[in-house]
Structure 1
Amino acid sequence: MFMENKSFKAVSFYVIIVISFNVILEAGELKLWYDEPAKQWSQALPVGNGRLGAMVFGRADQELIQLNEDSIWAGQGYYKPMPQMLENLPQVRQLIFDGKYREAQDLAKKTMTIKNDPRFGSYRPLGDMKITFEGIENFQKYHRQLDLDTAIASTRFDTVNGTYTRELFCSYPDQVMVVFLKGDQPNQIFCEIELTRQHRAVTKAIDDSTLSLKGQCEHGGVKFGALARVVLTGGSVKTENDKIKITAADSVVLYLTANTSYYHDDYMEICQKQIDKALSRGYEKIRKDHIADHQRLFRRVRLDLGTTEVSLLPTDERLKLIKEDTEEMKDDSDLAALLFQYGRYLLIASSRPATLPANLQGIWNPLFDPPWFSDYHVNINTQMNYWPVENCNLAELAEPLYDFIDRCTKYGRIAAKERYGCRGFVLSSCTNIWAVSEMRSGLVGLWQEGAGWACRQLWEHYLFSQDKEFLAERAYPRLKEIAQFYLDLLVEHPKYGWLVSGPTISPENMFIIPGEEPEPDHLARAGREGSGIDSDKKASVSMGPTMANQIIRDIFTQCIYASEILKVDQKFRSELIEKRSRLAPMQIGKYGQLQEWLEDFEEAKPGHRHVSHLYGLQPGSQITLRGTPELAAAARKTLERRLEHGGGWTGWSAAWLTNIWARLEDGEQAYKALKSQMRNCMFDNLLDNHYRADGAVFQIDGNFGAANAVAEMLLASHTGEIHLLPALPKYWEDGYVKGLCARGGFEVDIYWQNGKLSKAAISSKYGGRCRLRYGGKIIGFDTGIGKNYNLDSSLKITF
């Protein structure tokens, strides 16, 4: 029973307000909602169609809509030769083997890094749309929301002149953004519409109802254009000073489209065709098709974790209670369900077939100098963006990533040969929309596993879909190229005899050079980022760090299995099997932790946000509770040490920890990590907050990581069996999830009561053997293509 206290009174107040406003909200509805306009970007609401994006502020007197198009980038594609890198590889390796880490670090920095090239560029905003209204000085009964089920942002409020309603959405079928303005009284809409951009663009009125915006980004970057066209019911329209002025309209529909030279040479003609199509189809048809298209994806998964009266509070108020850590918020499990579905919504809105992959900010960026260039960081961030696609039943949304991996081969093959003397292709820690293989950002770029990790998603798609055609035509060719790169890169360690790669880093941590270890209290004072350790006493460059070994082992294993399934490349497979057997093993260090490096170095950054050496636990599966219990215990110790020193302090890092705890089947720790992310790393609009020294920064990977973590707490399939409720926390006592996917081509529904399984349903898409676990019980049964199987709480099949 919800206690009658201050929070309960607040809930009662909001129920009265909502009902009196004729907007009936029910607990558990998939809506973010607020009772005041957004004052800043981190309170605005995101909409998108994979390519076009908008942040809606919901301001009453002057609506602000910040606009993006996913290919508006400064910069260009290029390759910068680095012949000195290959020349110095043997010497850097030998210095590392000799234990001369400072000398190896210095030589690597001198010969294997380059200054940031302005041609790399960054993701830039399209501009802003401002709609300034007349006659709205005071307003009341204000309500704005983002409906995740329809992908429509709306605003509604009362004034002395009547009630105003607005809707905004981005249509994927019609490739337009649509704004709908309406009053409940005739001739109520008086407004002025302008389309602006701070830099390098010009806005012009084309006719009495159309504006155009055209520009080009810096450093030879992308050319872009946009058209905005209004259609009125009642009233009149004209353009004045390159703005659209609307007088006494009953309603207004505004269509906006944008295109670039990245996709089309005739991008303005494409804009015009899309506007013409929108005008011919009309608002109601576009809206109807938009909702149907979105719900075809979104409604595949349903999640109910229970609700309370707290669910009726505005979203920012609920988040505030989480941050205050009040006792009653322990049972706002519905907020976790909302966050899960929000992650799925954001992926639908930022990654669709024939678009670019979601970048560090998805597609939503208001800045001309965005953090980390709003690029593709492939040492976890881009990969985390796509963790939810398979198990959360959104598989086709990864197509932009697969296309991008293919494009990475252009520069990646050149880099592999010129910098490393290897076959195949390589990708460092960051890239742009032209998929450059760049050694920027200092020694953070001296890392060869970007493509290997990204291609894991190709293998995962095969495991979930059992699509042999995809495996043969898309996955295996890329996996084979990466495996060829690693075969050529590996060298034998002179001391251990293991095959190791490098020189490389363990993203993005550093170790204390042996012999330079400070006193234990000095290390403790170093904190999460090691600021208390002198720079000349720590290094990052080594041979064969744990993450590199894990990724190489994964790539070899995936190629071995794929070649067996496809019945190809027997000789190549035999070579991989032999080389895999000689890779350096995972090791347990002096603290009982999983070693991050080949040697048991002391960490310079004991609370670092990355836990790269746990890749083998999650997203990989080389470490499992029952298959490798000692390594699993060491991984747990690693997590505990990280948290003792303040780890998991960014949004994506907290999300990764939640996923790892789920893999360790610790529901309470997973729940604690998820709650920590909501408390410390989330803006009012539930977008992920990445803290850094110069302020809070939105970064979308944490949203996708959180969605995946919730799914993995409820369903796991990475060990060759479908595990029901592997990490269910006690606060999710009753609930159900429908539509999650499992490896092997299965779709799963799970119901539970009082923290125990009550029933489940398995749908087999492709037939084959199903191995199912709940707690300590395991069953196996053969399935037929398209057949459904119902199970009771004891895993007995019922009919």
Structure 2
Amino acid sequence: MIKKLPVLFLCVTLTFCAKPKEREKQKENLDLQYIEAAEKWTEALPIGNGSLGAMIYGGVAQEHIQFNEETLWRGQPHDYAHEGAGKYLGGIRELLTEGKQLEAQKLAQDHFMSDPIKQIHYQPFGDIYIDFKDHDNFKNYKRELNLNNAVGSVSYTVNDVDYKREVFSSFPDQVIAIHLTASKAKALNFDLWLDAIHEDKSVMTTNDSQTLVVKVKDGVLRGVSTLKIITDGNIENTEGKLQITEASKATVYLTAATNYIDFEDVSGNPEKIVPETLAKVSNTDYEAVKSKHIADYQTLFNRFEISFGDNGKSANPTNQRIYDFWKDPNDPQLVALYVEYARYLTIASSRPGTKPATLQGIWNDQLTPPWFSSYTTNINLEMNYWPVEMYNLSECHEPLFDLIEDLSITGAKVAKAHYNADGWIAHHNVDIWRGAAPVNASHHGIWLGGAGWLSTHIWEHYLFTQDKGFLKERYPLIREAALFYSQYLYKDPQTGYLISSPSNSPEIGGLVAGPTMDHQIIRALFDITIEAAAILGEDTDFAAELKTLIPQIAPNQIGKHGQLQEWLEDKDDPEVHHRHVSHLWGVHPWNEINYEDTPEFMEAAKQSLRFRGDNGTGWSLAWKINFWSRFKDGDHAYELLHKLLSPAEKPDGKVGGGSYSNLFDAHPPFQIDGNFGGASGILEMLIQSQLGKIELLPALPQALPQGSISGVCARGGFELDFTWEDSRLTGVKVLSKAGGKCILVYGDKQMELETEKGGTYSFDGTLQSL
């Protein structure tokens, strides 16, 4: 039985403010730092503004900066729906009911998959090269990425001259800026040029600029990128390179654009956009451009701060810190840095008006990237956005909502063509052309959870912000997804339950009828549709219909091994140690399975997780960290965090899961979801709010006995600051952004108060009013 916590009703002193104040104190020094240049892409340092991203190698004799623009993809506007596929739905279901899985998979592969069968690749754009003459003998080398101001830098000394360059990607000016300086007049000499690995490319050089034009293979998109240099030295056009001599400083501005407008329109004019963008900064002082960039970035970044004290804090280079943490995980500030780095990567890869972060954010250096560097919706895309509301970057969630809006259009066609249903659906992979049909192969491509899972993000944004205007605007997306599932659910002739068929439990078990994950997602979607409709005062009849369907959906079941069943049948194998634990979706990211309402299912879910084991890489480890945090076992969660923060490249040269030296997540290869999922898991150790109350330090590991966090957000529209010492809460402050009831829980204490919008409330470590 769950112990009922005593409720304390307190009168508190409150103050009001119109909006959350920007944090006035200077965030502690947050940077990734190295004493060597990068040799590999996964050692380079990322910058980005949501649409323009780059990787800085930091070489001395030659600098290499590889860059991306988010809309450069292969392919062209087209519809992935397979007309006539719906004729085969009944046959596939019948074969699955009869236990003829292989026959069902073949029928689906032949007649039910997308047209074409494969989706399209995200592409690299180009490369900036800078050659420095006679810089082979150097000292005092330092390479950094400053998370406080989103500026990368390289510095070193040659012949008593100090050289430095700064690189950043500006959101307000939409340029990548490179600023080079020398401490001695006329000592800065270098060659500068653009290149690309695309087969179809051209470069044109003028007096102070160079333009790269690329065209993708197997597609209609072309990209234009121009760099312009401003310097106090001399500039010459020499054999297709810009040669700068006798300078003390130089600034390079680069921007890029494509002809992509949206998934249906490729009539854009990058030849016009690029020069217009550069013209806005060409006559602006570098320091002014930099100041505007920093002010814009810090408006987002400075809202939040996390620290785990000075215990074990290391001044070593970041790559050494990762290695040291692997040997002895006594660098709690590396854990804090990991969270702040995830926030940096969110800001760099997902800003309002841009596209969502892909499997690799906006960074990619390959024409055929891993997993196409696309949007995988059976966990990876959603994981990219798990921490975004918690760590106070709500605006950065917006690109995902825009993608959902697009998918509601393409997914409606797929719903009709494949399932003879209204509403919209998305399967396990999506690209820039918003393909929503099942791709690749039937045994894993026919997964039906995409629309439901993505729709929960709309609801989560509402829960954190309490923004009814947003909910009203986006509610039709939730409703239409629920409409699809209400028509898609199929009465299983063997059990009598409504089930999802055909589908699969991602990556394991093949095409099946009735995977547990689907049913959890559909129940969650129906629940939030009902609640949203009530809040908005509409759709009464549809909400009533969904209420009647929910109890008919196949429920969670406990199997013969004490496990949460992954399928309708009790066929889980305890010896299968797979990276996907999809049937625990109801534990995290959702809350259907919890200790208060369904303790028996929590224990069954924990048993399933034990069977799957602690091994894993990248996003799989990250998800397991979140699971163990929800299970209130912080020490177990920290063990997995130790694995996530271990070096991907071991001393024997082997590459496995963990973190590359630039803290990119190694699946391997690089997938950014592990960075975001890992950050989410760390925050889940410290604060949870999924059950209508705010639990403080619910899964605090022994390894993090002291710390502070400020600007962290909870559902209900609350923002919190709190501290702890010796593993005990010492104080908490709550800002109520929307007003309403706030329930705080710490240990065996529970406090409930009615808040007013804009009010702040402070308590000590026993939740007594200050």
Classify the TM-score, shorter chain. over 0.9
Map 1:607-618 to 2 at 5 A.
Answer: 607-618=577-588
Contact 1:154 1:165 in 2 (8 A): yes
Matched residue, 1:796? 768
Contact 2:74 2:217 in 1 (8 A): yes
- Alpha-carbon offset, residue 605 of structure 1: 7.7
Residues 5-30 of structure 1, C-alpha deviations (whole Å, 9 max, x = no match): xxxxxxxxxxxxxxxxxxxxx99621
Matched to 1:256, the amino acid is L
- Alpha-carbon offset, residue 684 of structure 1: 0.5
CA–CA separation in structure 1 for the residues paired with 2:92 and 2:727: 55
Cα distance 1:83–1:71, how it changes in 2: closer, same or farther (>3 A)? Answer: closer
CA–CA separation in structure 2 for the residues paired with 1:585 and 1:198: 52
For 1:542, which of 484, 503, 512 is the aligned residue? 512
CA–CA separation in structure 2 for the residues paired with 1:613 and 1:580: 18
CA–CA separation in structure 1 for the residues paired with 2:206 and 2:105: 62
- Alpha-carbon offset, residue 434 of structure 1: 1.6
Residues 454-482 of structure 1, C-alpha deviations (whole Å, 9 max, x = no match): 111100001111111111111x1001001
For 1:683, which of 652, 656, 660 is the aligned residue? 660
Matched residue, 2:679? 707
Residues 134-180 of structure 1, C-alpha deviations (whole Å, 9 max, x = no match): 12021111111100010000011111151111100000010000000
- Alpha-carbon offset, residue 109 of structure 1: 3.1
CA–CA separation in structure 1 for the residues paired with 2:399 and 2:143: 32
- Alpha-carbon offset, residue 307 of structure 1: 2.4
SS of equivalent residue, structure 1 residue 461: helix
Matched residue, 2:720? 748
Matched residue, 1:286? 289
SS of equivalent residue, structure 2 residue 659: coil
Contact 1:205 1:239 in 2 (8 A): no
CA–CA separation in structure 1 for the residues paired with 2:368 and 2:101: 35
CA–CA separation in structure 2 for the residues paired with 1:480 and 1:314: 50
Matched residue, 2:12? none
Cα distance 1:398–1:561, how it changes in 2: closer, same or farther (>3 A)? Answer: same
Matched residue, 2:9? none
SS of equivalent residue, structure 1 residue 600: coil
CA–CA separation in structure 2 for the residues paired with 1:609 and 1:149: 35
- The 10-residue stretch of structure 1 (75-84 or 765-774) with the greater mean CA deviation from structure 2: 75-84
For 1:266, which of 261, 266, 269 is the aligned residue? 269
SS of equivalent residue, structure 1 residue 769: strand
For 1:598, which of 558, 561, 568 is the aligned residue? 568
How much is the aligned-residue C-alpha RMSD, in angstroms? Answer: 1.6
SS of equivalent residue, structure 1 residue 190: strand
Contact 2:563 2:604 in 1 (8 A): yes
- Alpha-carbon offset, residue 425 of structure 1: 0.7
Q: Are residue 650 (structure 1) and residue 617 (structure 2) matched?
A: yes
CA–CA separation in structure 1 for the residues paired with 2:468 and 2:177: 40
Matched to 1:494, the amino acid is P
Matched residue, 2:89? 89
Matched residue, 1:628? 598
Map 1:83-162 to 2 at 5 A.
Answer: 83-113=83-113, 117=117, 120-162=119-161
Q: Are residue 44 (structure 1) and residue 44 (structure 2) matched?
A: yes
Matched to 1:668, the amino acid is D
CA–CA separation in structure 2 for the residues paired with 1:116 and 1:607: 33
Residues 251-296 of structure 1, C-alpha deviations (whole Å, 9 max, x = no match): 0100000011113722121111111101132211110011111111
SS of equivalent residue, structure 2 residue 76: coil
So what's the TM-score if we normalise by structure 2?
A: 0.93
Matched residue, 2:366? 367
CA–CA separation in structure 2 for the residues paired with 1:167 and 1:240: 25
- The 10-residue stretch of structure 1 (148-157 or 409-418) with the greater mean CA deviation from structure 2: 409-418
Q: Are residue 297 (structure 1) and residue 292 (structure 2) matched?
A: no
Q: Are residue 674 (structure 1) and residue 644 (structure 2) matched?
A: no
- Alpha-carbon offset, residue 485 of structure 1: 0.4
Contact 1:161 1:188 in 2 (8 A): no
SS of equivalent residue, structure 1 residue 138: coil
Relative contact order higher in (CA < 8 Å, ≥ 6 apart):
2
For 2:237, which of 239, 244, 257 is the aligned residue? 239
Matched residue, 2:336? 337
Matched to 1:689, the amino acid is A
CA–CA separation in structure 1 for the residues paired with 2:672 and 2:477: 27
Map 1:105-504 to 2 at 5 A.
Answer: 105-113=105-113, 117=117, 120-233=119-232, 235-263=233-261, 265-308=268-311, 310-323=313-326, 325=327, 329-443=328-442, 444-474=444-474, 476-504=475-503
Unpaired runs of at least 5, structure 1: 1-25, 511-539, 692-696
Greater helix proportion: 1
Q: Between Structure 1 and Structure 2, how many residues are aligned?
A: 729
- Alpha-carbon offset, residue 690 of structure 1: 1.0
CA–CA separation in structure 1 for the residues paired with 2:492 and 2:285: 68
Residues 714-751 of structure 1, C-alpha deviations (whole Å, 9 max, x = no match): 11100110000111111111110000000000001110
Residues 338-370 of structure 1, C-alpha deviations (whole Å, 9 max, x = no match): 000000000000001111100010000000110
Contact 1:589 1:600 in 2 (8 A): yes
Residues 649-679 of structure 1, C-alpha deviations (whole Å, 9 max, x = no match): 2201100101111111111011111111111
Contact 1:35 1:143 in 2 (8 A): yes
Contact 1:28 1:306 in 2 (8 A): no
CA–CA separation in structure 1 for the residues paired with 2:494 and 2:283: 73
Contact 1:223 1:261 in 2 (8 A): yes
For 2:551, which of 581, 594, 600 is the aligned residue? 581
CA–CA separation in structure 1 for the residues paired with 2:193 and 2:317: 31
- Alpha-carbon offset, residue 604 of structure 1: 9.4
Cα distance 1:204–1:494, how it changes in 2: closer, same or farther (>3 A)? Answer: closer
Identity of aligned residues (%): 40
Matched to 1:159, the amino acid is V
